[in-house]
Amino acid sequence: MASVGALKFLLFHVLWLWNFLPSCQGDKHWHEKSYPFIRNASSFSSPSISTTTSNNEYDYIIVGGGTAGCPLAATLSQKFNVLMLERGGVPFTNPNVSYLENFHITLADVSPTSASQFFVSSDGVYNSRARILGGGSSINAGFYTRADPRFIKKVGWDINLVNQSYPWIENQIVHRPKFSAYQRAVRDSLLDSGVSPFNGFTYDHLYGTKVGGTIFDKYGRRHTAAELLASGNHEKLTVLVYATVQKIVFDTKGKKPKAVGVIFQDENGKQHEAVLANDRHSEVIMSSGAIGTPQLLMLSGIGPKEELQKLNIPVILDNHFVGKGMVDNPMNTMFVPSERPVHQSLIETVGITKMGVYIEASSGFSQSNDSIHCHHGIVSAEIGQLSTIPPKQRSPEAIKEFIKNKKDLPIEAFKGGFILSKVANPWSVGELKLVNTNVKDNPSVAFNYFSHPYDLERCVKGIRLAIKVVQSKHFTNYTLSDRKTAEELLNLTVKANVNFIPKHAQDTKSLKQFCKDTVITIWHYHGGCRVGKVVNPDYMVLGVDRLRVVDGSTFDESPGTNPQATVMMMGRYMGLKILRDRLGKLADFRHSYLETNKGTKFIH
């Protein structure tokens, strides 16, 4: 998932946020004219799989209306009947999703109706997965940057089709950031610290320092992947929200199991069956993300036989690679103290280094009247407030008292920002396992951060660079703060860090210990359905027919500094490729390509 690993604070939020947070899922009055094909799941009606007629069948059923699913559905609907099922609501009238200043409120909300579903990895790191139309693009920090060309070559994508697919996204929802004074200080400090050259504003992945795109427009309004659905064929596209898919249905009478439909539950708890057309080209396509896709495959009977049998799940296909190869890019931060009020900015500038770390920055959280009532973990500028409560003493009662007092704090108390250091392409690998058969519950996920020494080595280099950036004269001139020593900066950061990992006295003495104890997520987890293990190079699930995966669960590394651009592009790319493979010359999008790509710089 995209940039800034903003952390949620403990389970007591459930009670507290109930009283303070506005409604988190826009469920009415949402752009009916632009999206007439979106409706609640309870409106769906069809006969059972055994008695259905062709009028109730779909050429493609897409499970998950997220970052990849939306562009995929819009593209396939140009020629075929498409049903897309999304477990969450719509983003269009949800102010917590739509506005940059409320970025943290959704992330702080752990209620059942939140647009983000909170989970804690077994490593003790807080994380989030999207539960809303638009997926991660509806809850992330908005940064948009293309993949490293090496990644495109590695996964074997057609470069011409890639260069046709990126601009289709960019021309609809991507913008140039306003470029705040804080981000300008980041840029100058990165260059001063040797992360050069300066590549200006570009979507391309280039070594050095650059300014990237954003899905927030100049008014601070978010434009999500859900808006890409407007480009679909309204007559052939059906999108159901609050539709929680519980399992994929298979016909097991032939030589190989064949997907024939899905069973899903609507917002009222009623079950429905959606059925594929009786055509060998029709498919169920999983686009539920790195957590949801392997989870649902296993709940449907595709996964490690011994694990499925423990939960009494009928085995359709024994594949012990499902859920394996889970990776999350570890992030560590450095607090930037400020003597002047710092305005909010999300990721705009990035330093792409050759030592395998990316440096980004964020600032000014808790600035809105709503957001100031939320705790946002490591990326909230609450140094001197929350840090007065030692980690082991942060009981629900103590935190409740802190929150009560926090409401009376002046907004000027919330100052500062963070420099973020992300390890690129980590070698540490984990796994995902089911804990029960309820698809609404999170599975158990272990990322095994820094279990490989090479990742720890790069983290130390990243922290040293982050310290150098914060100590730069460009930052001290901007923040009006005295130049802090490395130990002072580490101490400030450790005190505010929030995760379930115990802290040690050596955190400010040993950078290796600091990395391990203060690791957080940047939401860029991937894997679980890797190519060659679970799917083939065309992303068809091995060992079964008419089932495909199109999302980041197929990746063995996160593309570029932020994956959202490439995951959205993947949805468009695979939609075009499927049309081309199925229709040949009939799938002629040449004219639309040329119109879309005017004046656009392509990957080489």
- Work out the angle at residue 318's Cα, subtended by the Cα atoms of residues 316 and 320, and round it to the nearest 5 degrees: 140
Angle at CA of residue 37, ends 33 and 43, nearest 5°: 115
Region at 19 (left for phi over 0; alpha for psi -120 to 50; beta for the rest): alpha
- For residue 86, say whether it is annotated as part of any ligand binding site: yes
DSSP state of 159: H
DSSP 259-326: EEEEEEE-TTS-EEEEEE-SSTT-EEEE-SHHHHHHHHHHHTTEE-HHHHHHTTPPPSEE-TTTTEEE
Nearest to 572 by CA among 143, 67, 159: 67
Q: What 8-state DSSP symbol labels residue 26? A: B
The amino acid occupying position 382 is E
Asked whether residue 18 is marked as a ligand-binding residue, the answer is no
Q: Is 570 exposed, middle or buried (0-12, 13-18, 19+ CB in 10 A)?
A: buried
The whole-angstrom separation of Cα 550 and Cα 494 is: 38
Q: Is 39 annotated as a binding residue?
A: no
d(CA 372, CA 385) in angstroms, rounded, equals: 13
Largest pairwise CA distance in the chain: 74
Burial of residue 451 (number of CB atoms within 10 Å: 0-12, 13-18, 19+)? middle
* Residue 101 counted as an annotated binding residue: no
Options 205, 223, 524, 526, the catalytic residue:
524
Q: Is 575 annotated for ligand binding?
A: no
To the question of whether residue 164 is assigned a binding role by annotation, the answer is no
Asked whether residue 417 is marked as a ligand-binding residue, the answer is no
Contacts of 593 (CB under 8 A, 6+ apart): 164
Residue pair 44/272 in contact by the 8 Å Cβ criterion: yes
| Residue 360, helix vs strand vs coil | strand
Return the exposure string of 296-310: e unless at least 16 CB atoms fall within 10 Å of the residue's CB, then b.
bbbbbbbbbeebbee
How far is it, in rounded angstroms, from Cα 376 to Cα 370? 12
Asked about 375 being catalytic, the answer comes back as no
Per-residue three-class SS string for 409-458: CCHHHCCCEEEEEEECCCCCCEEEECCCCCCCCCCEEECCCCCCHHHHHH
Rounded to the nearest 10 degrees, the angle between the axes of helix 159-173 and helix 564-583 is 120
| Separation between Cα atoms, residue 237 and residue 234, nearest integer Å | 5
Q: Exposure of 25 by Cβ count < 10 A (0-12 exposed, 13-18 middle, 19+ buried)?
A: buried
CA dihedral sign of residues 10, 14, 20, 25: positive
155 labeled part of a ligand binding site: no
Residue positions forming the annotated binding site: 86-87, 245, 523-524, 552, 563-564
Residues marked active site are found at 524
Residue positions forming the annotated binding site for FAD: 86-87, 245, 523-524, 552, 563-564
